[in-house]
Amino acid sequence: MRVAWLFLALAIATEVAGLTAMKAASASGSYAGHAIMYASIALSYVFLARAVKTISVGVAYAIWEGSGVALITLVSVFVFGHALSGREMLGLSMAIVGILLVNAGEAPEEEAAGEAAR
């Protein structure tokens, strides 16, 4: 179970790398930026596939998406020196609370049943 969360964290890290590359590429229009983006996203899905062996796919994807957007915002704050607006603080809090609730909402017995059905 713990290994699955590690894989999910790796999937999120590679996704954030890919989205950062996309942001840079859309500004400069470079092919290298797009190539890095597609490679990162592909790698991210390899990790995601490992994570969803034990974590419900709906839960894993929501966490992947939510953490991705939250981390991209933090990257723009810490790397690009962007000042955090009230709206962004609200968004970040929503992402954190949402992810905690999604985690709390995972029904373990049903997950086991799903595993067996596969």
Q: Which residues in this chain contact other proteins in the complex, by CB under 8 A?
A: 26, 34, 37-38, 41-42, 45-46, 48-50, 52-53, 56-59, 61-63, 65-66, 69-70, 72-73, 85, 87-88, 90-92, 94-95, 97-107, 110-111, 113-114, 117-118
Assess contact for 22 and 56: CB atoms under 8 A: no
Q: Fill in the amino acid letter for 60.
A: A
State the minimum distance, in angstroms, from the CB of residue 9 to other proteins. 15
Q: Looking only at Cα atoms, what is the longest distance across the chain?
A: 49
Query: How far is the C-alpha of 63 from the C-alpha of 72, rounded, in Å?
Result: 14
State the minimum distance, in angstroms, from the CB of residue 54 to other proteins. 9
Helix axes 57-78, 31-51, angle to 10 degrees: 140
State the minimum distance, in angstroms, from the CB of residue 28 to other proteins. 14
State the minimum distance, in angstroms, from the CB of residue 114 to other proteins. 4
